Amino acid sequence: MFIDVTRRRNPRLIDTAVELHRSGRIPSNCYVVDLDTVSDNAAVVARAAASHGLTAYQVTKQFGRNPIVARAVAEAGIDKVVAVDFEEARLLAGHGLRIGHLGHLVQVPRDEVDLAVEMDPDFVTVFGVDQAARFSRAAERRGVVQDITLRVAGPNDTFYPGQRGGVALDQVVDAATRIAALPGLRLRGVTSFPVLLWDDATGAFAPTENLATLGAASESLRAAGFAVDVLNAPSACCSATFATKAAAGATHVEPGSCLIGQTPLHAVSDEPERPAMIYVSEVSHTTSDAAYAIAGGLYPRCKSRTALVYDESGADPLVARVELDPAEAIDYYGTLRVDDPGAVRVGSTVVYAFRAQVFVSKCFVAVVSGVEHDPVVEGIFTSIGFRLGSDLLPTTNGGTAS
């Protein structure tokens, strides 16, 4: 999906990754993150969000909750993180990252609520009054007031499978009234996901009904006397979409894929954010009709179409067609279609570039700085952010500073 644009806009990332893999400095089945380009992208996104009056929180799941990368993004201007589940919150807070938003895609578990409040997030999203009551008790125990937002769901809203939930639009005022009676809480506003989606037919992002639902919910709450000031509008966050979101009343955005230059828009248009992550592996074996790469990180929705096969560093690559297996398959191998599989050498380096969700993959992540001039492997990590030693086994519990 992103091979062509990466070869054109960040060719040194590919060259560096091939050199590192051929020399044994990074393993196969490994995402390679260009730390400097991520930092540049984050600075671009931070300025664009600010220009539209938007507060930006970084999303780290796409690059594996990586603490080094998250810190670089923070230093570039997006200094608080979204934790889509509590495991991510634990790891990133343990590395000193400040939490902006908790509880949206995955609600905070019952026994983690006290720790969640201790993390001092800007706000926590709840799916209903029962979840809010847990935070009320935790806030009282700590003697603080916790800001919360409601996830709202309209009758025609779009939700991905496994991500449904929230307060029905016609019940939002009633839920807010009940929450207002709970001590230790302050209702700040509403959120949903996704509020924009890519339309292949038009080649552009378009609002979902969710965005209108958020506007309607905010209006209903204000009409009922609630001083809500947050309209959090995640999904498809990048410089190109901030104007649309701001015009719809958004106050907060959550850029993630754009930090590594991997929204669908970035595949078809040269946006300010450049490609900053690729996936590297090796040819394991061949059959009469295909070559097979060691896998583990081939996200089922990656939409990868082509990969590059390098027999050696500096050589011209063979362009192979990627044949993705059904989503229910375990990706032990990635299938590569080429004219003559017998001509593909076992052990050759394979480079993919596609839209990733590293945190759900079984793979390695290598963070590399100095890609343009003097590459340095800053660390090799698990797909969920734990640093690995030279033996590719965890070195610590993941909660110490990198």
Q: What angle do CA 21, 23, 29 make, to 5 degrees?
A: 20
d(CA 307, CA 321): 6
- CATH 3.20.20.10 domain span(s) along the chain: 79-254
What is the reported pTM? 0.95
d(CA 280, CA 351): 5
Which pLDDT does position 399 carry in this prediction?
Answer: 45
The SS3 call for residue 220 is helix
For each successive 10 residues of the chain (402 residues), what is the average pLDDT?
Answer: 95 97 97 98 98 98 97 98 97 98 96 98 98 98 98 96 95 98 98 96 96 98 98 97 98 98 96 98 97 93 92 85 91 95 95 95 97 96 97 72 46
Q: What angle do CA 42, 45, 50 make, to 5 degrees?
A: 125
Tokens describing residue 284: 């394991």
Fold of 3-33+272-383: Lyase, Ornithine Decarboxylase; Chain A, domain 1 (2.40.37)
Which pLDDT does position 396 carry in this prediction?
Answer: 65
The pairing of strands 349-352 and 306-310 is antiparallel
Give residue 324's Cα distance to chain centre. 22
Which pLDDT does position 400 carry in this prediction?
Answer: 46
Residue showing tokens 């700085």:
369
CATH of 79-254, one of 3.20.20.10, 3.40.50.720, 3.40.50.1370, 3.30.1490.390: 3.20.20.10
d(CA 72, CA 367): 11
d(CA 40, CA 59): 16
- CATH 2.40.37.30 domain span(s) along the chain: 3-33+272-383
pLDDT in tens, 12-69: 999 999 999 999 999 999 999 999 999 999 999 999 999 999 999 999 999 999 999 9
d(CA 246, CA 346): 51
d(CA 335, CA 289): 10
Tokens describing residue 263: 């929204």
